[in-house]
């Protein structure tokens, strides 16, 4: 069947289907979704927006730090390179369980000019969004994999 012989309704349905597939493909990229959340949280930290930074924390992290002030103080104390990140770049990533868990490597230059590798554990929530479920900091500059 050629495009000329298709009805207007068929063409409209075809266009809607293609658009839905494109949206679905964009929404089904766990790595891109996780990286966007990490970037948003780093930006919130740099802006010292405790509420926004806390909004990206998983329920497990929120259980350990039940309010944004406690959470923010913990990050300031233990994750200085993230709290005052200079430049950062995404390294390798690893999907576990088809995307329920994303491990994302982030190379970060801290405020003192020293380089760090942060391994973010990103958990997928019931609504499909990702939340930060933990970060492991390593003192090195080379990507060594996950």
Distance between CA 85 and CA 43 in Å, rounded?
9
Distance between CA 79 and CA 86 in Å, rounded?
13
What mean pLDDT value characterizes the chain? 84
Q: Is pLDDT larger for residue 17 or for residue 106? A: 106
pLDDT surpasses 50 at 52:
yes
pLDDT surpasses 50 at 12:
no
Mean pLDDT of 26-40: 89
User: Buried b vs exposed e over 80-90: b needs ≥16 C-beta within 10 Å?
Assistant: bbbbebeebeb
Distance between CA 89 and CA 116 in Å, rounded?
11
Give the tokens for residue 91. 């390294």
Give the tokens for residue 4. 């000329």
Strands 115-124 and 130-138: antiparallel
pLDDT surpasses 70 at 5:
no
Task: Tell me the pTM.
Answer: 0.77
pLDDT surpasses 80 at 41:
yes
Residue 1 pLDDT: 53
Mean pLDDT of 28-32: 93
pLDDT surpasses 50 at 16:
no
Nearest Cα neighbor of 109 from 92, 94, 89 is 89
- 29 secondary structure, DSSP code: -
């Amino acid at each position: 069947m050629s495009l000329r012989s298709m009805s207007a309704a068929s063409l409209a349905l075809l266009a809607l289907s293609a658009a839905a597939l494109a949206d679905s493909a964009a929404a089904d990229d766990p790595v891109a979704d996780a990286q966007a959340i990490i970037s948003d949280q780093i930006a919130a930290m740099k802006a010292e927006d405790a509420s926004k930074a806390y909004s990206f924390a998983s329920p497990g992290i929120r259980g350990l730090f039940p309010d944004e002030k406690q959470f923010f103080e913990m990050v300031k104390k233990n994750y200085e390179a993230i709290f005052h990140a200079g430049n950062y770049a995404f390294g390798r990533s690893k999907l576990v369980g088809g995307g329920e868990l994303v491990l994302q490597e982030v190379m970060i230059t801290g405020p003192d000019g020293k380089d760090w590798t942060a391994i973010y554990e990103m958990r997928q929530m019931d609504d499909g969004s990702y939340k930060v479920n933990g970060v492991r900091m390593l003192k090195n500059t080379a990507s060594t994999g996950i």
